[in-house]
Amino acid sequence: MTFEELEQIAAETRENREKSPRELNVCVAAGCLSLHSDAVKKSLEEEVKRTGATCRVRGTGCMGLCSLGPLVASEPSGQLYKSVAAADAAEIVKNLEGAPVPRLLCSREQPFFQRQNLIVLENSGRIDPEKIEEYIAADGYRALVHALTEVNPNEIVQEVSKSGLRGRGGAGYPTGLKWGTVSKTAGTTKYVICNADEGDPGAFMDRSVLESDPHRVLEGMAIAAYAVGATRGYIYVRAEYPLAVKRFGTAIREARRLGFLGSQICNTKFNFDMEVRIGGGAFVCGEETALIASIEGRRGAPRPRPPYPAQAGLWDMPTLINNVETFANIPSIVRRGGDWYASIGTKKSKGTKVFALTGKVRNVGLIEVPMGTTLRQIIYEIGGGGPEGHKFKAVQTGGPSGGCIPEQFLDLSVDYESLRELGSIMGSGGMIVMDDSACMVNVAHYFMEFCMSESCGKCIPCRSGTAQMFELLTRMTLGTATARDLELLEELCDMVSSTSLCGLGQSAPNPVLSTLRYFRDEYIEHINEKRCRAGVCECGSTVGVTA
Amino acid sequence: MSKATLATIWLDGCSGCHMSLLDMDERLIELSPQFELVYSPLVDAKVLPRNVDVALVEGSVSSDEDEHKIRLIRSRARILVSLGDCAVTGNVPAMRNSFPVDALLHRVYIENATLQQQVPTERLPVLLKRVRPVHEVVTVDVFVPGCPPSADTIYSVLKELLAGRVPDIAALSRFGI
Amino acid sequence: MPLTSKKPPLPSEDKRWRIVNGTMRRHGYARDALIETLHTVQESFGFLDKVALRFVADSLRVPLSQAYGVATFYHFFTMKPPGEHVCLICMGTACYIKGAGALLNEAQAALGIQAGETTADAKASLMTARCIGSCSVAPAVVFDGETMGNVAGKNLREKLAGWRPA
Amino acid sequence: MNPAPSVKTLMIDGKDVSARADQSILDAARENAIPIPTLCHLDGLSEAGACRLCLVELKGTPRLQPACVTLVEEGMEVTTQSPRLEKYRRMVVELLFAERNHVCSVCVSNNMCELQDMAKQLGVTHVRFPYRYPRLPVDTTHERFTMDHNRCILCTRCVRVCTEIEGAHTWGVFGRGVDAHLITDLDIPWGTSDTCTSCGKCVQVCPTGALFEKSKVGMQSQKNPDFLNYLNEMREIER
């Protein structure tokens, strides 16, 4: 594959599209799909066939504003229709040329769309994720061809370092540094692994990217493999994401067909191929060494680091592990340069971040904003604020490893460091808004149950400590706890975070610590007054229930 | 100097800790000028006095009566000592905790009984759902593990307490044995 | 147990064993294909049992204790046959905040079973998931593989009632 | 003959020591008579890094590091005893006691148990956390040995010795988290296992009364894992 050939495919694809420019793009990613967008698509196809209209009906990836799904975009006019039902097909097709259907219109001018800055999601909802040609028509695989034919691996690592990109899986380790280590470590075979074991409850960024634009991730992995000298790749996807598995499988086959995977890619000496590995429902496998154990077919129990996977990973070989969103940033960085990427974001956190904005907020969906955007902008401008009649209480980031951030910090600009200072973490990007109908003790209890059940059981602090913390929190929610139990809980938080073997245990106390930090009075009420102000816990009297 | 008042209490345990206390033999006589035994299964006094300096508690909290007793003792004792594994850990009495009380009573009084198969109900303390070590019910000042703690251990503990010091238990005793 | 190096025979005439064998062959009977193969078994049979585990372990030359350890480590694998219908309630944070707990209680009451169980008539199984990634339409429930978003108690009751005609 | 590994000098608890570059902090400390508590570690087996008792402080490293798997480095300054470390170690022991039903007074290994010794050594006189009282089975089906899950601390020494030394792979771990427990083969009664060679190594390495030899009580039930060093040494010579 050469630039000329790439351009030819892109040109043909665009040409075909221009021949009959009218198309109806139906989101068939998970959110809209669970609102039966497949039925909408079928109905539109039938209607087009019945009326003989010249219009293509395509299934595309996520358009972002999932709470108003199923979403349908009408091109070339650019109209976006919301909450479309199968029965609306006739009206939509009838009005293809004339005025749009006002009843279904969803403005693209609203802050939800205007406030975003799309890099990772630039193709989401715009291309058919199952057609490689459409990705190529959107400048896809140019970065890979450029990397392989015009620059050496070292330069790629440097470019990524220059971009300031940090791991999007949660911890924020500098990506360029990681690549550099793997590239410098000698090994007979090196591996690249994409961590798509998005286990945080309330997060669906990776799912959406894989379902909406799988080639972007694949291209990022191939570039990474070239940069670090790897020849084999794995993508470890949750079993709960069958559509993502299917679409990525299709993407691999298509990429092989066009020679982006296999041997002597782009007529160079670079060989690289990859396969999908399906997870088994274990949150701990998001941890690098556990994930490696799982790919090796073993129990997903983490092992002590060092050695880090970059030195001794899969089958003890140097292994690069990055998360989906990290890889998805790579093609843009390689195409547009590290400096361009570094111009976006804050001093220490560059680029954009994709968030799954959910919970008690009007506009639920997938968003991508520059690092440094404030929580208030995200929740109130993009998210449209919470539902009527309820007061904002906290936003939860980082899932079971993160924390709850209260109102007084909403003007904080979001980056890795600022969130950590508040006792939460960036995590993979789940952002769950909670209002006064949520009880913070109950939320801590919920996450502790999660960590307890997801603990692999290998090290004692995590295995037994989470079970103890869960018991103590249970007592609080039931109104049987004493002040002594709170002391023990706090001692355990310190001990489990300081002594656990891996990140799961080390961060398991975070939801408790952050709620204790900002909502200690709620704990005290549960203990001293046997009262839950949100009326969620059955801890005796429910005096003070708001609405 | 007035004598310190000492009480010993027997909750759910085998009385082995009390036997071990008696095993102090002549050392009991050595310490006796320093204390007055005001309440104990070993003496006739039936009423717990208001002020107890040191209370040695043997046994776990297994019934409503145990719970009542331990709370009363706590309210009247200056220093409360959990004496022996039953008081400290729940020990053997707590082995029933993996089973529901009803199933347990049924097994003991009906399945395994040959005569008069019935679960006694009247004038008997009600078993708690779970046997608990003393410190899960009231605050404990000194823990003396051991099944039973040896006479030497109890002697050292008593001697230290009577001298107004906190004994270093870790050096003296351990769970089990 | 794998005392010989010969590949074990298929456990029965059931054609699904060939599908399982196919997965292992595709991976060159490498040990690391264990999890992939268990996925195939579960897809084909609906669950894992000891016959299947022994067959897979022997074929891949994985010790039995390890195969069982792996099968029970990953919660996606089930050792019990599922009911004719499966109701899976997402308990992810977004769903939880929007009332998934109440939905679970409703489903337990409606089916008379706890999460993770199957009704005595084998008609329905009730499961929970950590997060199915459908947070945007929380609370979400998967009925027989089909995700339904913004589920209210009423939808749930109707759907479950349809599975178990009184 | 391999070239001799380089020697590193480091400081442990203020004492200058030297160690081979391939040695762990634990090895170096023990060679210099500096005690570090351990439960999952056993000379002759691979390291699990699971019990967290051997965590030590390293100057310049914010996180505590397990001495058993952390290799010595030049100029390292290690602290093995501090109020913070001692507190965490005591808590590890408390968590273990609260997790299952360790009733020392009626245990075969009473007075010969590493967990019981550890509690004494660390000054754990009581457990502040609520006991969990799980209901766990006792497998008596093996003709010579018994597995009492009530006393197991999941150190996995038995799993490792069975895998690494005996090569039978009979023992494995079922499930995960606080529900994890040991299994033989496909979770069958131990006595019916046909991979088990009845060698008894698992019993000898078990630190508690979880695995014990039937009909041996009191002093007779003393475990002796020293065979491991002998086996490993002899193997090395054969190679």
pLDDT band at A544 (very low <50, low <70, confident <90, very high): very low
Global pTM value? 0.95
Q: What is the mean pLDDT of residues A168-173?
A: 87
The C-alpha angle with vertex B87 and arms to B86 and B91, in degrees rounded to 5, equals: 25
pLDDT band at C166 (very low <50, low <70, confident <90, very high): low
Question: What residue ranges do the domains of chain A occupy?
Answer: 20-107, 132-342, 352-434, 440-529
For the segment A449-465, what is each residue's pLDDT rounded down to a tens digit?
999 999 999 999 999 99
CATH topology for C85-163 is Glutaredoxin (3.40.30)
pLDDT of C116 over the 60 cut: yes
CB contact under 8 A, B89 and D134: no
Mean pLDDT for the stretch of residues C39-57:
96
pLDDT at A546: 35
Most confident segment among A111-120, C114-123, C132-141, D200-209 = D200-209
CB contact under 8 A, D178 and A488: no
Structural element, H or E, at residue A335: helix A324-336
Average pLDDT score, chain D:
95
Task: Round to whole Å and give the CA distance between A264 and A259.
Answer: 8
Task: Answer for the pair A330, A119: CB distance below 8 angstroms, yes or no.
Answer: no
Share of chain A above pLDDT 90, in %: 85
pLDDT of C134 reads 86
Top residue of D187, D193, D197 to mutate, by most chain C CBs within 10 Å, is D187
Label residue D220 by pLDDT band (50, 70, 90).
Answer: confident
The phi and psi torsions of D130 (rounded to 5 degrees) equal -65, 130
Answer yes or no: do D109 and D179 share one domain.
yes
Which residues does chain B have with pLDDT short of 70?
Answer: 1
Please indicate, yes or no, if residue D1 is contained in any of the structural domains: no
Q: Chain A contact for D175, CB < 8 A? A: yes
Chains with ≥3 CB–CB distances under 8 Å to A: C, D
**How far, CA to CA in Å, does B25 sit from each of A18, B5, B54, B158?**
106, 20, 20, 14
C64 and D195 within 8 Å at the Cβ level: the answer is yes
Q: Which of D55, D81, D107 is the last residue of a domain?
A: D81
pLDDT at D238: 84
* pLDDT at residue C1, rounded to an integer: 46
Supply the CATH classification number for the domain A132-342: 3.40.50.11540
Cis peptide before A304 (omega within 30 of 0): no
User: What's the pLDDT score for residue B123?
Assistant: 85
d(CA C43, CA A25) in angstroms, rounded, equals: 32
Tokens of B45: 């006094």
Q: What is the residue type of A115?
A: R
Which residue's structure tokens are 């006691």? D97
* Domain ranges across chain B: 4-94+130-171
- Residues of D near C (Cβ–Cβ under 8 Å) read 159, 163, 169-176, 183-187, 194-195
Q: Which residue has the tokens 């090395």?
A: D236
Residue C4 in this model has a pLDDT that exceeds 60: no
> Confidence band (pLDDT; 50, 70, 90) for A538?
confident
SS3 D155: coil
Q: Are residue D67 and residue D90 in the same domain, yes or no?
A: no
CA atoms A296, A301, A307, A310: torsion sign: positive
What's the token pair of residue A296? 């090796």
Place D2 in a pLDDT band, splitting at 50, 70 and 90.
low
For residue D122, being part of any structural domain is answered with yes
Q: Which of A200, A201, A278, A281 is nearest to A243 (CA)?
A: A278
Summarize pLDDT for A300-343 with one digit per residue, the tens. Answer: 999 998 899 999 999 999 999 999 999 999 999 999 999 999 99
The span from the CA of A521 to the CA of A516, in Å, is: 8
The answer to whether A40 and A72 are in contact (CB under 8 A) is: yes
In sequence order, the 6+-apart residues with CB closer than 8 A to the CB of C90 are C100, C128, C129, C131, C132, C134, C138, C139, C140, C141, C142
Query: Percentage of chain A with pLDDT > 70?
Result: 99
Q: Which residue has the higher pLDDT, A34 or A227?
A: A227
CATH of domain B4-94+130-171: 3.40.50.700
A-chain residues within 8 Å CB-CB of D49? 303-304, 459, 501
In a domain, D92, yes or no: yes
Structure tokens given for B138: 């009231």
Mean pLDDT of A490-518: 97
Strands (E), A61-129: 72-75, 79-81
Among the listed residues A78, A73, A76, the one whose alpha carbon sits nearest the alpha carbon of residue A62: A73
Looking at residue A543, its pLDDT comes to 44
Chain C closest-CA separation from residue A387 CA (Å): 12
Tell whether D71 and D184 lie within a shared domain: no
DSSP line for C37-71: HHHHHHHHHSS--HHHHHHHHHHHT--HHHHHHHH
Given a cut of 90, is residue D172 above it in pLDDT? yes
Which of C75, C94, C129 has the CB atom closest to A282's CB atom? C75
Task: Report the pLDDT value the prediction gives residue A98, as an integer from 0 to 100.
Answer: 74
- CA A288 to each of CA A57, A106, A224, A225, A441: distance values in angstroms, whole numbers, following the listed order: 41, 41, 17, 17, 31
Answer for the pair A393, A435: CB distance below 8 angstroms, yes or no. yes
CATH code of residue D33 = 3.10.20.740
pLDDT of residue B146: 96
Buried-state track D85-104, b at ≥16 Cβ within 10 A, e below 16: beebbbbbbbbbbbbbbbbb
Check: CB of residue C127 under 8 Å from CB of residue C116: yes
**pLDDT above 70 coverage of chain D, percent:** 98
The pLDDT of residue A531 is 94
CATH number of A20-107: 3.40.30.10
Q: What is the DSSP string of A247-291?
A: HHHHHHHHHHHTTSSBSSGGGSS--BEEEEEE--S-GGGGSHHHH
Q: Which sequence spans correspond to the domains of chain C?
A: 16-73, 85-163
Q: Return the percentage of chain D with pLDDT > 90, whole number.
A: 90
Residue-range definition of the domain harbouring residue D170: 86-238
CB A333 within 8 A of CB A341: yes
Compute how many other C-beta atoms are within 10 angstroms of the C-beta atom of residue A12: 13
- SS3 (DSSP) at A351: coil
Instruction: Say whether A201 and C96 touch across the interface (CB within 8 A).
Output: yes
Task: Give C4→chain D minimum CA distance, Å.
Answer: 13
* Complex prediction ipTM: 0.95
D16 and D97 part of one domain: no
D29: amino acid identity, one letter: A
Looking at every residue in chain C, the average pLDDT score rounds to 92
Half-sphere exposure of A484 (CA within 13 A, CB side): 10
At the top level of CATH, the class of A440-529 is mainly alpha
Task: Give how far A163 is from chain C: nearest CA, Å.
Answer: 30
- B13–chain D Cβ distance below 8 A for any pair: no
Segment D3-25, tens digit of pLDDT: 666 999 999 999 999 999 999 99
Is C52 near chain D, with CB under 8 Å? no
Q: State whether A501 and D180 contact (CB < 8 Å).
A: no
Contacts of A345 (CB under 8 A, 6+ apart): A164, A351, A352, A370, A371, A372, A415
pLDDT bucket at C115, cuts 50 / 70 / 90: very high
Domain A352-434 in this protein, CATH class: alpha beta
CA distances from C135 to A462, B176, C159, D118 (A): 28, 52, 21, 47
